[in-house]
Amino acid sequence: MTRFGDLDPPQRLLMGPGPVNAHPRVLRAMSADLLGQFDPEMTAYMNEVMALYRPIFGTENRWTFLVNGTARAGIEAALVSLVAPGDRVLVLDFGRFGALLKEILERIGAEVSSVDAPWGEVVPREAVEAAVARVRPKVVATVHGDTSTTMAQPLEGLGRICQEAGALSYVDATATIGGMEIAADRWGVDVVTGGLQKCLGGPSGSAPITVSEAAAARIFSRRHVEKGIRRDDIQDGTGLRIGANYFDLAMVMDYWSEKRLNHHTEATTMLYGARECARVVLEEGLAARAARHAAAGRAVTAGARALGLTVFGDDRYRMSNVTAIVIPEGVDGEAVRRRMREDFEIEIGTAFGPLAGRVWRIGAMGYNARKHKVLITLGALEAVLRAEGFGTPAGAGVEAALAAWNDG
């Protein structure tokens, strides 16, 4: 029988599009003792999590909680619970994760339409309005910040467009929550989901979610409690049963409510981590945290350009926390990533789809959206580029990044 040694991962600086290094406070919180899922201390922590995430989502929604699983679990739970087979859904598609929304919706059996933008751009507001009028969807779904293209879709007014058309709205904010402003109530959007492993500075494995009363009514209209846990105080809805059990938000919401429906066993350690992520965010302050991420994004962009590199995409809509850099002609992009990892213990990202082999992606978010980590990454990138034969002015990237950070 093969026996393996103790875990001893390298102390790598994760400066890709996510995951990033978790905040030490989050890791410490996750080492706390386990509790039973209906222990009064545990249910009190659940209620605290709901309260902590409301300001982070920019909402007063009662239904603000966690879905156990990575960010994609939140995405799938939201879509499978909102959308029934045959429902018309409009997706704003401007990158890999817009395509993912369509993939999930097609699996559900929805009638999917999309309004598309080239990678590196976003969907114009007038195109959204025209598509909603044409498609007349039940749900409009979009990504906020798509790390595949590093673009952030403007969301002001989206809720009004949807409400006037009688549609609900869904936003995947996995890559932006805790780093860019999320304003669910002001935007008027119905469901927003996130993940811990990017700007929130935690590990992947828990998906914060907020659900409006209108969306909750749609979800509860499809409630069908599984036979083994039926109770007289929880009535089934009249709509089509949600096509998942674990991701059935009607039952998950009853679990998080005062009903405490025994739907699943809460992931205690992940809840501790999600709770501490939120505490760290709110202690720093949402405005201060957004400003720090914006400074990091400015610094990466300025530093890359000072090294003679081209930054991909439309500057007007760039995410603050992930920057795509065009790989120069004649430079082996994977050799650069390997040298960054092996010589400097720094990870930067590759790309997908149309951008595969064309760009690197540098993420500066959460615990890693700090001046010294950005400067260290750019200094290492300069050294690697020079070693790979790409001529760049010595020290220019770090100098420009420092100035850009301080200019804010």
Per-residue model confidence (pLDDT) at position 328:
97
> Which of 282, 305, 327 marks a domain boundary?
282
Q: How many domains does the chain have?
A: 2
- Environment class of residue 202 by beta-carbon count within 10 Å: exposed (0-12), middle (13-18) or buried (19+)? buried
Q: Residue 346: helix, strand or coil by DSSP?
A: strand
CATH of the domain at 337: 3.90.1150.10
Residue appearing with tokens 């009638």: 111
CATH of the domain at 159: 3.40.640.10
> Which of 255, 282, 309 marks a domain boundary?
282
With respect to residue 15, please indicate whether it lies within any of the assigned structural domains: no
The phi and psi torsions of 391 (rounded to 5 degrees) equal -75, 130
Per-residue model confidence (pLDDT) at position 408:
67
Per-residue model confidence (pLDDT) at position 1:
79
Give yes or no: residues 153 and 222 share one domain.
yes
With respect to residue 130, please indicate whether it lies within any of the assigned structural domains: yes
Q: pTM for the complete prediction?
A: 0.96
- Environment class of residue 231 by beta-carbon count within 10 Å: exposed (0-12), middle (13-18) or buried (19+)? exposed
Give yes or no: residues 204 and 343 share one domain.
no
Give yes or no: residues 269 and 322 share one domain.
no
The helix or strand, by DSSP H or E, that contains position 3, with its residue range, turns out to be none
The helix or strand, by DSSP H or E, that contains position 170, with its residue range, turns out to be strand 168-172
Gyration radius of the chain's alpha carbons: 22
> Which of 282, 315, 347 marks a domain boundary?
282
Give yes or no: residues 118 and 141 share one domain.
yes
Torsion region of 261: left, alpha or beta (phi above 0 gives left; psi -120 to 50 gives alpha): beta
With respect to residue 1, please indicate whether it lies within any of the assigned structural domains: no
Domain that holds residue 327: 286-407
Give yes or no: residues 305 and 277 share one domain.
no
Per DSSP, 218 falls in state H
With respect to residue 14, please indicate whether it lies within any of the assigned structural domains: no
Torsion region of 73: left, alpha or beta (phi above 0 gives left; psi -120 to 50 gives alpha): alpha
Give yes or no: residues 126 and 172 share one domain.
yes
With respect to residue 386, please indicate whether it lies within any of the assigned structural domains: yes
Residue appearing with tokens 């875990």: 7
What is the CB neighbour count within 10 angstroms for residue 112?
A: 22
Give yes or no: residues 210 and 324 share one domain.
no
With respect to residue 8, please indicate whether it lies within any of the assigned structural domains: no
Give yes or no: residues 73 and 171 share one domain.
yes
Amino acid at 245: N
Give yes or no: residues 220 and 354 share one domain.
no
With respect to residue 372, please indicate whether it lies within any of the assigned structural domains: yes
Within 7-127, strands assigned E span: 13-14, 63-68, 88-93, 111-116
Give yes or no: residues 99 and 202 share one domain.
yes
With respect to residue 18, please indicate whether it lies within any of the assigned structural domains: no
The pairing of strands 13-14 and 346-347 is parallel
pLDDT 10s per residue in the chain (408 long)?
788 999 999 999 999 999 999 999 999 999 999 999 999 999 999 999 999 999 999 999 999 999 999 999 999 999 999 999 999 999 999 999 999 999 999 999 999 999 999 999 999 999 999 999 999 999 999 999 999 999 999 999 999 999 999 999 999 999 999 999 999 999 999 999 999 999 999 999 999 999 999 999 999 999 999 999 999 999 999 999 999 999 999 999 999 999 999 999 999 999 999 999 999 999 999 999 999 999 999 999 999 999 999 999 999 999 999 999 999 999 999 999 999 999 999 999 999 899 999 999 999 999 999 999 999 999 999 999 999 999 998 999 999 999 999 986
88 contact partners, CB below 8 Å, separation of at least 6: 110, 111, 113, 135, 136, 137, 138
Per-residue model confidence (pLDDT) at position 124:
97
Give yes or no: residues 294 and 267 share one domain.
no
Cis (ω within 30 of 0) for the bond into 9?
no
Structure tokens at 142: 């979009």
Give yes or no: residues 148 and 230 share one domain.
yes
